[in-house]
Structure 1
Amino acid sequence: MSWLRDPDRPLLFSMVFWLVLGAVVAVNLLDESYAPTRYAFAVNLALVLGLWPVLPWNPGHRGRRLASPAFLVVTFALGFTGSAGTHAPLTLLAIANLAFVYGMRMATVILAGQAALMIALPWAVGRPMAGVLMEVGLLMVFAAFVLGMASSVLKARQLAERVRELTVAQERGRMAAEMHDSIGHHLTVIKVGLENAERFRDRRPEAAWDEVRQAKELTVAALADARRWVRALRPLALDGHLGSAALERLAGSFTGTGVTVSFDVTGTERLLKPDTELVLYRVLQEGLTNALRHAEAESVRGSLAFEKGRVVLVVADDGKGRDQGRGFGLSSLAERVQALGGTLSSGNAARGFELRAELPA
């Protein structure tokens, strides 16, 4: 149930929600004039509590988008079931949520409609307009702060996504060069070998067949390299997934290789910097690829743990282990992890091989 720890929900909004909700309940219980509507208030409060955890804070959550307008209606209704006006910040949170899901323009239109309704209803029952206009003006001031905060968060998300895209593009360029060197080398040797086989076929048939066998072996190696690079070039955002979801998709992409691959997440997930997310992606990729190439393992397990101040990724297999020391891939990864203030450790475990990365979060 990942929506219970929705990383898209701003922490400040959660704090405001629970503080204001407590104030609304306290006012209702202390003011005896609300006693006749207590049952309606309880139902209204239950709807608010039920909708808050499932509110989407990202337009990509299409299955829960209707929860946003429903939350706006039930928070606004608190004013009629007994809140003495203390519910207004909850309504502003609902409007801010609409900005996250439907855009700033929609949130502004709904806010204007609410202001018009707040003026029209008291006017219809003969309330003095001076007090009403003061209440509406105060609401607009607070609304400007809330929508300004929502706009800043949305722009920060767009910037982070852009940085992530640029980081991935840079990484792809580097990997494309490496792929050219590895697969290109294999194909060059295969071409030379087949040319030799063609020259030797009449005068030295055994040598020709040796060249063909070598070319066949190199073809298998080149094909294996190509498959690994295809996995490596898969983007971080798979069908809109980021963070642990992208890592889980990466682990799932190794299904069908003959090795059982599992992945789990512990702790409360939070947003990571694009560089941190990319390095974790590469660490998992390196661990899975090495397990397939060297370990002769039957299963590989990846686990991502969100701890206080850090995030830990462990990739462990049940294979034969391997010689101590790091190849180019692990050495390069270690440098990138250290550049972000983290550590990368690897070595034989009680059974198999384990790769562990710790990064500040």
Structure 2
Amino acid sequence: MGTHTSLLLKFIFMALNYRSPGFYLVAFSLVSIILLCLEPLFYAGKFSDRLYFYAQVRLAIAIILVAIDAFLLYYWSKNPHNKLLSAVITVINIILFVGGDVYIASSTMAVALWVVLRSFGMRICLIIIATFVMVESPIIYVIKRESEMDLLWREVRMCILLVLYLLLAWVLSSFEEAAERERKLAVAAAVDNERSEAARMLHDGIGQQLVAITMSFDVAKALKTTKEEDAWMEVEHAHTVATQALRDLRRWVRALDPPPAPVPEDSIQLVTVLESLSQAFASTGLEFYIQSPQAKHHLGATAGEIFQVTAREGLSNALRHGHPEALQFTLRCTDDAATLTVEDFSTSLQRSILAESEDEGYGLRSLRERAEQAGGTLHAEPTAEGFFLGVSLPLTESV
């Protein structure tokens, strides 16, 4: 029980630690609405049956709206430029703002302004604020029959509150836009690194093999009249090198364009992905061995995607730093965690270069960050026969 609790707490901490600032605003706003609507139910004896029934209806409506809002916000976060979805979310949050009736619950207006700012821009936010101030205050004035001074102070307080919420929405949007720019720069840098790596591979690998082939043919041409047997040996050597160059080229083409596969959510689906990867490299002479538990274990989409990336990164790493003859995938599962290891076995390696470098490449660094974000660990090191890559993840998602 203690182990399960510690794993759950670690997962929650890691999940919250990597959330965007907007996540906390949305969570605070929606939870505050629920707490506000729950409050009258704790004082049932102090209210009439009619008011108590009204409180129950209000709570039910709030729960429905909050559930819809959270659902729509989840999909909106994946596509902030969906204007129809943004408009629906804005309307729902304004309704919650009006129904909140207290300052803590009115932070849903900040959510509405944040969504509008991301999708429509600052001008629409200012129009919403101006419209709300001009419409809301007179309605309250008519309903509550407040004095003109009270109406004035209400408008002043409302303007200050809305401006503060707009400032908060702008700050959050600025943070998220900056994070998005950094992510795009990191992706661009990764693409440049991959291009440089591919260029180095072509020059140092296939390029050198083509040079060796040319030299063998030159030698064979020079020896064909004097030492015919030696000339044929050079031709045979050129054929061997050409065969290896073709095999290496096929491997790199497969590595740069792996077969598409759905995200595995259990151990059986993950093994299917690994088998699909091995079939794609069947024509390259590279052998694959897969070890996995016979029983089906649920992994969840997050762990499944990370393990899928692990398999591809292990294969790509083997091709970049050596000439592997075989790769072994090993999947181990328990009730609490799952581990996928990738080991390559090579005859001609450039491991000294990798061993001397203390900096991980972008692929391994990105994979490590994703594993740690999910509460897991990554272990990577060169071995006497090749390279070892292992990722362990807690299994916290329910079936």
TM-score (norm 2): 0.59
Q: Is the 8 A contact 1:98 1:106 kept in 2?
A: yes
Q: Is the 8 A contact 1:186 1:219 kept in 2?
A: yes
State the partner residue of 1:43. Answer: 61
RMSD over aligned Cα, in angstroms? 5.0
- Within 2, Cα distance between the matches of 1:289 and 1:170? 12
- Within 1, Cα distance between the matches of 2:187 and 2:155? 47
Please give the per-residue CA displacement for 1:334-358, whole angstroms capped at 9, x wherever unaligned: x224998996335599xx9842379
Residue 193 of structure 1: CA displacement?
1.5
Q: Is the 8 A contact 2:110 2:166 kept in 1?
A: yes
User: Which residue identity does 1:51 align to in structure 2?
Assistant: D
- Within 2, Cα distance between the matches of 1:63 and 1:148? 19
State the partner residue of 2:7. Answer: none
- Within 1, Cα distance between the matches of 2:122 and 2:352? 52
Change (3 A) 1:195 1:314: same
Q: Is the 8 A contact 1:183 1:222 kept in 2?
A: yes
Residue 15 of structure 1: CA displacement?
4.6
State the partner residue of 1:143. Answer: 166
Give SS of 2:281's match: coil
- Within 1, Cα distance between the matches of 2:191 and 2:339? 20
State the partner residue of 1:96. Answer: 114
Q: Is the 8 A contact 2:318 2:324 kept in 1?
A: no
- Within 2, Cα distance between the matches of 1:151 and 1:67? 21
Q: Greater shift after overlay, 281-290 or 86-95?
A: 281-290
Greater radius of gyration (CA):
2
Give SS of 1:336's match: coil
Please give the per-residue CA displacement for 1:179-198, whole angstroms capped at 9, x wherever unaligned: 31222110101111223334
- Within 2, Cα distance between the matches of 1:125 and 1:30? 28
Pairs within 5 Å for 1:152-167: 152-167=175-190
User: Which residue identity does 1:154 align to in structure 2?
Assistant: E
Gaps of 5+ in 2: 1-14, 143-147, 261-272, 283-287, 293-297, 304-308, 369-377, 393-399
Aligned pair count reads: 315
- Within 2, Cα distance between the matches of 1:195 and 1:344? 44
State the partner residue of 1:119. Answer: 134
Does structure 1 residue 285 correspond to structure 2 residue 285? no
Q: Is the 8 A contact 1:345 1:355 kept in 2?
A: yes
- Within 1, Cα distance between the matches of 2:123 and 2:40? 30
- Within 2, Cα distance between the matches of 1:332 and 1:282? 20
User: Which residue identity does 2:192 align to in structure 1?
Assistant: A
Identity among equivalent positions (%) equals: 18
Q: Is the 8 A contact 1:186 1:218 kept in 2?
A: yes
Pairs within 5 Å for 1:221-300: 221-230=244-253, 256-258=280-282, 259=288, 285-287=316-318, 293-295=324-326, 297=327, 300=329
Q: Is the 8 A contact 1:56 1:67 kept in 2?
A: no
Q: Is the 8 A contact 1:28 1:83 kept in 2?
A: no
Gaps of 5+ in 1: 239-249, 270-277
Residue 142 of structure 1: CA displacement?
2.5
Q: Greater shift after overlay, 337-346 or 10-19?
A: 337-346
Give SS of 1:70's match: helix
- Within 2, Cα distance between the matches of 1:88 and 1:202? 95
Q: Is the 8 A contact 1:287 1:315 kept in 2?
A: no
Q: Greater shift after overlay, 32-41 or 19-28?
A: 32-41
- Within 2, Cα distance between the matches of 1:62 and 1:227? 40
Give SS of 2:121's match: helix
State the partner residue of 1:316. Answer: 342
Change (3 A) 1:62 1:118: closer
Match of residue 13, structure 1, among 14, 25, 32: 25
